[in-house]
Amino acid sequence: MKNKVNKGTVKKVLHYVGRYKIHLFASVFLAAASVAMSLYIPVLAGGAIDTAIGEGRVDFTALMPYLYKIGIIALAAAVTQWIMNTLNNRITFRVVRDIRNAAMEKIQVIPLGYIDSKPAGDTVSRIISDADQFADGLLMGFTQLFTGVVTILGTLGFMLSINWKITLVVVILTPLSLFVARFIAKRTHSMFTLQAKTRGEQTSYVEETVGNKKVVTAFSREEKTLEEFDEINERYAKYSLKAIFFSSLTNPCTRFVNSMVYAAVGLAGAFSVINGAISVGGLSCFLSYANQYTKPFNEILGVIAELQNALACAERLFELVEQQPQTPDAPGAKELSDVGGRVEIENVAFSYSKDKELIKNLSLSVESGNRVAIVGPTGCGKTTLVNLLMRFYDVDEGKISVDGVDINSATRESLRKSYGMVLQDTWLKEGTVKENIAMGKPDATDEEIIEAAKASHAHSFIKRLPDGYNTVISDEASGLSQGQKQLLCIARVMLCLPPMLILDEATSSIDTRTEIRIQKAFTKMMQGRTSFIVAHRLSTIKNADVILVMKDGNIVEQGSHAELMEKGGFYSELYNSRTDATA
């Protein structure tokens, strides 16, 4: 099975390499030219040796042309090899660039279910670390495989032209090197695959731990974290050592084979010189070829270990690249425009896992401009409902429509542009404050951005930043508090003012005084806009036109706050259980 995977991976790599056929053919041609020149030098050296007619008698007139030719050809071979290496570098890093681009493009279109089911660190490791490892192996392969194969074929041709009997000795011993190559390749691939997989696990664990250092420290998990990391690190070291052990057998094994070939050639050649079948210069030339013939085997076997690592990393990359994309927009999908905000949910069923139901038979009708609050215990499906409204996930059964249009029949882009979304979890991209606010409306003017910031009460703290709206920030190293980050995310929505809003704990990290002001801004912003509010604070819920009470994936109650309290059902029980006067 593993060999089939390997062959498939090689075909995929060759598909990407095939985009650079001109560079590839040029590299092969230069490799052949470089080897041909290198192989011609021993012929000249043999001829130079034969100019020594006897003891103290050297024909310098005949010797000098040989020396000149050797110098010129050696220089030309060096220049040719430098150009070939430059081409190989271009091929390698352009191929890796293309695969990385393909991986990033796929991340933009694969279902969120895949992203949610994989550790972020593992995905990062595939695109960064695995791609780097793949590049190293591919570069070594291009650099040494081409020249190695051409050298083997070229030296065989030259040796046959000199003495076919001695050449036969070399060819008979060649299978020893092939046996060594197969032995090493079979054992290194599985170890390099485990090494790459564990490296992704290690990257994911480090990212998770560093990103949540405060939580680790707050719960005194330092020692436990170290123990868990040590366990992963130990496995990584074990797989790495095994992979390196088998790959390190390459050099001593091939050196042994090389020595056997060289000794056999020397012995057979000595008898040939004694019998007059070959000159001393010819034997010197042949020994040089025998050495050059066995050397590529040594290099190729070294490359095999690197290629096994590269293929293991490539498999992980292609696993990401070949993930099925999300269901494309339906042919002739409608562009939603002038959205009024009427939302219909009809008999919707959905579950993240097919063996565990979450939402079933969910129906809801929301009129344009209604403010809908969604409440319920943890895990009841509140955020899942938001994911379905935005079509981050597709429903399993039933349908959701906006202004009478089934959202599966509308383009995802136009649907999502119809919503403004503020989540509890904030995210800022690396860039200026201005760029972060204008993310949903890149062509916004400075005046519009400032007005949105004022409406979200972010303007005052932005002005205190070193460069105001031009201050460069990022999600991890912005120097901003969680509440300030949330204000910037609210400003994004204030700037776009779409016809529908989704507020999922939008003020969870903001102090009470600022929240009161933002709620006033929200109230103004929500006028005439359909709004879905996932919240626990009464200040938001009480003002809603309708409150949906969810439990186990179903809407069990709905109505205004007063109606639900008077009813004395699940909502009333939930409300009365909150000693902090929140719902």
Amino acid at 65: P
Long-range interactions of 455-458: CB distance < 8 A, separation 24+: 455/491, 455/494, 455/521, 455/525, 456/487, 456/488, 456/490, 456/491, 456/494, 456/518, 456/521, 457/487, 457/514, 457/517, 457/518, 457/521, 458/484, 458/487, 458/488, 458/490, 458/491
So what's the pLDDT on residue 526?
80
Q: Which of 299, 302, 298, 292 is nearest to 156 (CA)?
A: 292
pTM recorded for the entire structure:
0.65
The CATH architecture one would assign to domain 16-321 is Up-down Bundle (1.20)
Helix or strand run (H / E) with residue 494: helix 482-496
Identical fold between 16-321 and 343-576:
no
Q: Which of 194, 219, 88, 193 is nearest to 143 (CA)?
A: 88
Q: Which residue ranges make up each domain of the chain?
A: 16-321, 343-576
Q: 3-state DSSP call for residue 206?
A: helix
Mean pLDDT by 10 residues, the chain (583 residues): 60 84 86 83 75 65 82 90 87 87 86 77 81 79 75 80 77 71 69 81 81 74 85 88 76 72 76 73 74 71 72 84 82 86 88 78 86 81 84 88 89 88 80 88 89 88 90 75 82 87 75 72 79 70 81 80 84 68 42
Q: b/e string for 481-503 if b means 16 or more Cβ within 10 A? A: eebbbbbbbbbbbbbbebbbbbb
In terms of Cα–Cα distance, which of 310, 313, 329, 331 is closest to 321?
A: 313
Tokens of 290: 């025998």
- Using left for φ > 0, alpha for ψ between -120 and 50, and beta otherwise, residue 245 falls in alpha
What does the alpha-carbon distance between residue 462 and residue 74 come to, in Å, rounded to a whole number? 66
Q: What span, in angstroms and rounded, lies between the C-alpha atoms of 121 and 179?
A: 39
pLDDT for res 79: 92
Residue 484 to residue 428: CA distance in whole angstroms: 11
Asked whether the beta carbons of 474 and 467 are under 8 A apart, the reply is no
Identify the DSSP state of 479.
Answer: -
Rounded to 5 degrees, what are φ and ψ at 320?
Answer: -75, -45
Rounded to 5 degrees, what are φ and ψ at 555? -85, 110
Which fold is adopted by the domain 343-576? Rossmann fold (3.40.50)
- Confirm if 556 and 362 have CB atoms less than 8 A apart: no
pLDDT of residue 583: 40
Ranges assigned E (strand) in 187-251: none
Structure confidence at residue 302 (pLDDT)? 65
Q: Mind spelling out the 3-state secondary structure of 348-403?
A: EEECCECCECCEEEEEEEECCCCEEEEECCCCCCHHHHHHHHCCCCCCCEEEEEEC
**How big is the CA angle at 577 (ends 422 and 389), to the nearest 5 degrees?**
30
| Pairing state between β 530-534 and 371-375 | parallel
Whole-angstrom distance, CA of residue 96 vs CA of residue 41: 37
* Max Cα–Cα distance, the chain, nearest Å: 122
E-state strands within 481-559: 500-504, 530-534, 546-551, 554-559
How high is the pLDDT of residue 1?
40
